[in-house]
Amino acid sequence: MSRLFPAPDALIGKRLDVAVAKMLGVSRAKASELIACGQVRSLSRDIAKSSTLMAGETLEVSLKDEAPAPEPISHDMAIVYEDDDVVVVDKPVGVAAHASVGWTGPTVLGSLLDRGVHITSYGAPGRQGIVSRLDVGTSGLMLVCKSELAYKEMRRQFAEHEVKKTYHALVQGNLKEDKATIEAPIGRAKVSDFRFTVTPAGKEAITHWDVMERFGEATLVSVNLETGRTHQIRVHFSSIGHPLVGDPMYGANPVLSAALGLDRQWLHAMRLEFRHPRTRVWTTVESHYPADLSHALKVMRERAAVRLEPAV
């Protein structure tokens, strides 16, 4: 049985044996062996172990002695909007947008296909129909395209920033302003393949925020993204000294996270607004807080109320 692996961005430019070793979780020697015996091949060219992994390349891996385990399915992922062209899901935390190297949990795409939802074949292998993603640790609304027309049009709308994405985030500390914009380029951090940072060499990133509620030790904000960089909200708020509560990767206080019962960043994709790809009608889809974020917010309000009680 064979599987297709789109080249991960973090491994572009690496020697093929090094890249395959990381993609499959095997030794470099084993990766070289798989390439040499033809169990790893590129769909676009002839390769050797010393070849360089190229952007946009897809590798086909045939593991003769191993049958891949079936992908877990998210049964509690709600569909909040669906027609013949698009489907919008309320993605739970712990669900990836699509399959990727090293991920063994449920995915939005796999869970939709398991329910019999038709998804367009347009898009990269394993990512068909997906024009915008959410992190595994971020919950909320995510749109997937069912038709070819929708894929082409929604990809354009996301690329040209015509889709309005509203997030709610709980950030540490008391923000000085009631509303502001963070405009700072974001690129991959040198210390890790999985972290991003504000850097002059990064891509343009613009985040607008408005304060919704203040608690003293944290602030609840509504966030609109003008761009859609990986980890954009997490990186931008960390860069101004206000990391998201529950986000240790970008500097969150673990003591506060534990007090609120959080084991992930307090961030939820709350509202999605777009022009329908076929009817051109402006469409708005809304979500609600999942249980873990609601509980954390309740505890935060209680902590704030105690601090405000007058001394007797």
Sort strands 86-91 and 218-225 into parallel, antiparallel or unpaired. unpaired
How far, in Å, CA of 310 to CA of 312, rounded? 6
151 Rama sector, left if φ>0, alpha if ψ -120 to 50, beta otherwise? alpha
The Cα 128–Cα 108 span in angstroms is: 11
* β-strand partners of 6: 58
Per the structure block, which two tokens stand in for 63?
A: 């593991």
Is 135 labeled as catalytic in the residue annotation?
A: yes
> Which one of the listed residues 17, 85, 90, 135 is annotated catalytic?
135
7 contacts 62 by C-beta, under 8 angstroms? no
What is the chain's length?
Answer: 312
Catalytic residues: 135
